Structure 1
């Protein structure tokens, strides 16, 4: 119930709340305010009424050193996979109006402050909410795979546009697996930040050139492999909040 409430606050609030443009006409500042109010603050403070250890719930701990070594492959793989899925989804859901509106909106963020808001702020706000609080709460009641899948679906629905659903579902799932495998939110935050920063700077000609080679599918596969390998081969997923990630039952150990 607590995880569902957080999702409703984040997704519902960010999609239905209309900031007063007379008071805050800048779309960049409105976006930053919305992410802070409906994502960052609920994620950070939900542990207070639930009387939970915040650092444990949010997986706010250093990852194993090997996780950092795999991050370049993770980021490259998510970018390649994202380009493939974005192209395929545009063919399946040819809603050019929504895609053009999204492209026009993103053009408003083509400033240093805009890049910060569209890259750094979502990396922290969305990871803390979905892969931190929501995933942590779901893992108290569900097996790790189910918890990862549910938070990824919620994350994908947040982004609204049908053409973006497949690759945001992939990102949500992979970043969730990163938390489960490494026991830390930090690799996902860094990967999310790098993905957003690079993807907002890619131009259509470059994307088309990459998709015309075998590079994109190859790197997408390598990226998925790197997410799993970052936790170490042969190691169990790291438990969260005293929950066995394989069964969802209590282990009595801190994660």
Structure 2
């Protein structure tokens, strides 16, 4: 279609009308006859630069599906607990139902996305340097917990503290049952949900540190505790960091278990 002149230094001309061709047009501006494909003169189209919120929403929608599934299950557990025991707005019955509902949601999503979880159960990682650092971080957080929640607990009335212990020990009389319900179940099912699935999905689309922070924030949010939310965020961040650096779930599961066990001991529920 093009008729070159000279040694390539003269402008190319249209073979129909002989007028010089403009390099930025796919047709001759004199006679309007096309001389090349339109794609050849179009500027390169670059993909849109998404912000982190858009990347998560478009590339990792499972994060919000799982989070809202947890949220719905826990709200339902709270309402059911209130109906069972309206005196203290649900109290321990709501807590137990909530733990069971989290286990159900984690099991369903874990099975549907077992390909995401399988590599994270490929090893234990309990003797790794990451585990040692995680234990040191846990010790520091438990000290923070002792100071912060101890101060809040001391502000509560003695009658309220006795009622809380009575509810827990009354509904779960065996120590082994309390350990299983409050230590084992959250350690397994919350780690599968928040570190195994949510954090993994986030790390695929945003910076790892941002994924750690966001997964920790979501972990804190589902506990529905305004006073404890800063502390729970730190716990979630430690568990998320452990999962990121180790690539495995067992270190975080053990740290989570030990954390909840220490809380039970501090609140006098292991006797």
Q: TM tier, shorter chain? A: 0.5 to 0.7
3-state secondary structure, aligned to 2:265: coil
Q: Does the CA-based 8 Å contact 1:155-1:169 persist in structure 2? A: yes
Structure 1 residue 156: Cα displacement:
0.7
Q: 2:208 aligns with which of 144, 164, 184?
A: 144
2:71 is aligned to 11
- Long gaps (5+) in structure 1: 205-255
1:77 is aligned to 140
Q: 1:74 to 1:16 in 2, by over 3 A?
A: same
Q: 1:102 to 1:137 in 2, by over 3 A?
A: farther
3-state secondary structure, aligned to 1:184: coil
Give the TM-score normalised by the residue count of structure 1: 0.63
Q: Does the CA-based 8 Å contact 1:153-1:169 persist in structure 2? A: yes
Q: 1:81 to 1:43 in 2, by over 3 A?
A: farther
C-alpha distance in structure 2 between counterparts of 1:171 and 1:117, whole Å: 19
C-alpha distance in structure 1 between counterparts of 2:173 and 2:212, whole Å: 32
Residues 86-235 of structure 1: matches in 2 within 5 Å?
86=149, 90=152, 103=164, 106-107=168-169, 108-109=171-172, 111=174, 112-203=176-267
RMSD: 3.2
C-alpha distance in structure 1 between counterparts of 2:62 and 2:130, whole Å: 30
Structure 1 residue 131: Cα displacement:
0.8
Structure 1 residue 68: Cα displacement:
3.7
Per-residue deviation, residues 186-210 of structure 1 (Å, max 9, x unmatched): 1110000011011112049xxxxxx
Per-residue deviation, residues 8-34 of structure 1 (Å, max 9, x unmatched): 101221222455988xxx937634531
Give the TM-score normalised by the residue count of structure 2: 0.60
Per-residue deviation, residues 142-185 of structure 1 (Å, max 9, x unmatched): 11111111111111111112111111111011100111111111
Displaced runs of 4+ in structure 1, greater than 6 A? 99-102
**Higher RCO structure (Cα 8 Å, ≥6 apart):** 1
C-alpha distance in structure 1 between counterparts of 2:163 and 2:225, whole Å: 8
3-state secondary structure, aligned to 1:201: helix
C-alpha distance in structure 2 between counterparts of 1:55 and 1:5, whole Å: 20
Q: Does the CA-based 8 Å contact 1:131-1:185 persist in structure 2? A: yes
Structure 1 residue 80: Cα displacement:
1.1
2:8 is aligned to none
C-alpha distance in structure 1 between counterparts of 2:156 and 2:222, whole Å: 17
1:37 is aligned to 104
Per-residue deviation, residues 84-136 of structure 1 (Å, max 9, x unmatched): 34357x49xx898xx96994555544632122110000000111100110001
Q: 2:122 aligns with which of 61, 68, 72?
A: 61
